[in-house]
Amino acid sequence: MKPAQPVGARESSRRHFLSQCGVGLGSIALGSLLGKDLSAQGKKLEVLHHAPRAKNVIFLFMAGGPSQLDLFDPKPELERLHDQVVPQSYVEGKRFAFIRKDAKIMASPRRFSRFGESGADFSELVPHMGSVADELLIVKSMVTDHINHGPAKLFVNTGSGQFGRPSMGAWVLYGLGTENNDLPGFIVLQSGPRGPRIGAPLWGPGFLPSRFQGVPFRSKGDPILNLSSPPGFQPQRERRFYDVVRGLNQERL
Residue 126: pLDDT band (50, 70, 90) is very high
Mean pLDDT to the nearest integer, 107-135: 94
CA 218 to CA 206: how far, in whole Å?
23
Does the structure show a pLDDT above 60 at 19? no
Does the structure show a pLDDT above 70 at 155? yes
> Which pLDDT belongs to residue 45?
41
Residue 247: pLDDT band (50, 70, 90) is very high
Mean pLDDT to the nearest integer, 129-147: 88
For the chain, give the secondary structure using H, E and C. Answer: CCCCCCHHHHHCCHHHHHHHCCCCHHHHHHHHHHHHHHHHCCCCCCCCCCCCCCCCCCCCCCCCCCCHHHCCCCCHHHHHCCCCECCHHHHCCCCCCCCCCCCECCCCCCCEEEECCCCEEEECCCCCHHHHHHHCCCCCCCCCCCCCHHHHHHHHHHCCCCCCCCCHHHHHHHHHCCCCCCCCCCEEECCCCCCCCCCHHHHCCCCCCHHHCCEEECCCCCCCCCCCCCCCCCHHHHHHHHHHHHHHHHHHC
**C-beta separation of 103 from 85 below 8 A:** yes
> Which pLDDT belongs to residue 35?
54
**C-beta separation of 157 from 61 below 8 A:** yes
> Which pLDDT belongs to residue 125?
95
Return the exposure string of 212-234: e unless at least 16 CB atoms fall within 10 Å of the residue's CB, then b.
Answer: bbbebeeeeeeeeeeeeeeeeee
> Which pLDDT belongs to residue 26?
52
pLDDT digits (tens, 9 = 90+) for 199-211: 889 999 999 998 8
Does the structure show a pLDDT above 60 at 53? yes
Q: What are phi and psi of 20, to 5 degrees?
A: -110, -20
Does the structure show a pLDDT above 60 at 117? yes
